[in-house]
Structure 1
Amino acid sequence: MSGFAGGGSRDRAAPYFFLSYAHTPKNHPDDRDPNHWVERFFRDLCDHVLQLTSLPAGVPAGFMDKQMQPGEGWQERLSEALSYCRVFVPLYSPRYFLSEQCGREWFAFSQRGVNHQSRGNASSVSEIVPALWVPVPPKQLPQPAERLQFNHASFGEEYADEGFYGLIKLQYLREQYERAVYLLAKRIVRVAEETTLPDGDPQQEYLSVPSAFGPPGPARQMDVSVLACSSTELPENRGPDCYGTHAREWNPYRPDSSRPLVEHAAELVRNLDYQVKVGEFEADAGRMLAPGPPSAPGLLLMDRWALTTRHGRELVDRLCAEDRPWISVMVPWNRSDPDSAARETELREIADTVLAPRQLESAGHRSPGGGLLTLEAFNQELPRAVEAAERHYKAHARTFPPEGPSTPLPRVLPGGMGYGADAPGLPAQRTDEKPSTSEKGEDTPYEREP
């Protein structure tokens, strides 16, 4: 059995699995490294994987960032390991889902699975095999982790209750620790044998990868809507190959992708820790373009061919007629499509004209003028479009102050802290008097913490 995750040449042997974990900081510089126990667990897991496989010499069983040498390009090594490993093992703990680095690792790996599915390789087995370092309450799990539906009790009740940290630290649970590590190794090997995940992009800039974990709190929402033609209503000189009976079946990246683009996009957005509402812009426009503050950020996937129809043009004109920067516009474009190549200049000019009000970033995200020419370009652009939509949404969304009477804000007064004219021992100030220049800074109220 090879330790490689797919075809292609590599400068290094690929790790069989990638261990993603949150570093625990020291309380005192003289303390022992608190991540010592994670390293021991990693070595034990590697030993079992080596015994359960026929990995050739030089092929590492696993990867963890502690293996990197001083001075080694850590971003390049992480990108390479995430692009080539066969299985991703997130080590759950309360710190894990608060770690931006762990979130980046999760998203970088999960993107490979989404691309694999879009190329017609749906699998019933997830290449992500979670492990418990410390049990985490279900309500603290972000959407990507919650959707895994992994039964931790299958590795033992003690493991599900205590996690690997409890098992490795408590002497009387030593047997249960050995059993749980062995069963995890078997699960990793079985998943690797049953899946053929293609390589990722080892040249991706690691720090530009978004985190799969959103902020703590209620689940975030995102509208993903598509404006496209259907096979029953096509413009002149447009073939039906990229279309279905409904607009949401539009697939501009055929034959590289066999999946409707809106489904591919929705899966990527879910991996950014959003609950996604998928729809067609013709039906969604009444809600998404309603006056007033937005109810959710949005992502619009726009087919340039749809702008040659009167109704499609009217819908985008409505979008751009008012300030709605919380709806990001993405424009997929496949230059290898012969119909599109023949009319590329004309359709690009139409799109540029319609989207002209969005020239500035403050007006909302839009794809570059040439469009997104490949599925890979679409994948790279989507996190930026989502981030822009979320940022503008937060700036424009309706706020809900707490119920009940408000209390006065404390103010810095010449005599110290107080609450304005009612502060004891201070004379009331006339409301028609303007403070002097030297007093303005002192009279500015503090902002209350939310």
Structure 2
Amino acid sequence: MHDDAPHFFFSYAPVPPPEGDVDAGPPAADKKVLEFCDDLTRAVISMSGTHAPPSTVRHLDAADRGGPSTVSALHRSRTFVAVITRRYFTDVHCGRQWYAFTHRPQRPQRGALIPVLWTPVPTTARPVVVDLGLPVPDRPATPSYVDRDAAEGYKTGGLSGLRRDSDKPYYDQCVRRIAQCVVQAASRAPEPVPDDAEFAHLDEVPDAFTASSWHPLGIAVLAPDIDHLPPGRRDAKYGREPRDWQPFSDGYGTPLAERTAELARNLGFAPEICTYDEAEPVFLGQRETRRPWVLILDPWILHDPAAAARLRAFDARDLPWVTVLAPLADDPQTRHARGDLEARLRSVLPRRLSGSRPIQRGAMLGRIQNSEAFNSLFMELADTAAQQYLNRVPLRSSTRPSAPTEPPQGDQEAQP
């Protein structure tokens, strides 16, 4: 390993200065990011035992974002710390840096690309598969201690949230864990390749974030059609196919599935509508899924014993990447039958209901009685399904062994 190679390349998307005020200095948001860079540098120096000055332990990409020093640092840095914000994925320099590091001739070792969550980013705003959990070092290292509340605060609000909430001990624990991962990955880094094998300018490198397409999303509908209604059910809400179901009388005149697909497109998804019959092989494990799913369920279908049995088989499987919404139609007949319909939902989805968050349970039990409530729930739960799906995809960026959240016996600050 070259002694002069930076332990980490610090990649972040700076906040643009106010228009016409180029001499204003870094915005307050950038100052906090730069303070984190200093904190991480000190932790890396402490844990690695290096005597190198801080300026050589890290490369802080700020002044010449595409210039010679950036290019040199991308060739030589042992690890790549990406400070993740929504802006990060729209910054062309960050996209090029990411691509340049992950496509070096000496392929980065597992764990050398270390995403750090600074502020929350919705799944649909992430054009690449990236794990935003708190990094965990590879075995046999014992992960440095992080309090359970610190890990949860990092997950929900990022490092910026921990700083803003004045949780200094929690922030320090997370910084030390990240530093531990940097030191471990840096110790395994391969030697840089000869100069003649390197790119010369960053503008020669593609932006890693522009080539990705929208996130796919399956929308499955389980509802009666007009020719297969439960006994006594009025037909005003139904059409010739299950996907024609319109539970809400809000004047739009379009089926709920089509309106859901339009909403999904606005959120950055590429939706595909199908019936439950078409999606069932995926739900029952007979065909591999290639997307997260939303199942829109009309509780009236559960008057059909065969449909109820199929839902019980669905519920028996562990499918965290499928979210279920069971809106109640807004007609008087449905309002009168609300208690019975909820009881039927409970009988076919016991496993999901027992292991779900309150918002998910409400969506499954028919507590969606207008289009505004449906839209709000869909936006949150579709993103949850997408994240669960992405968690199933093998990640090259970092290693995810399980890590204890309670302090180990003895020394709580184990070295890598």
Q: Tell me the TM-score normalised to structure 2 length.
A: 0.46
Structure with greater Cα Rg: 1
Q: Tell me the TM-score normalised to structure 1 length.
A: 0.43
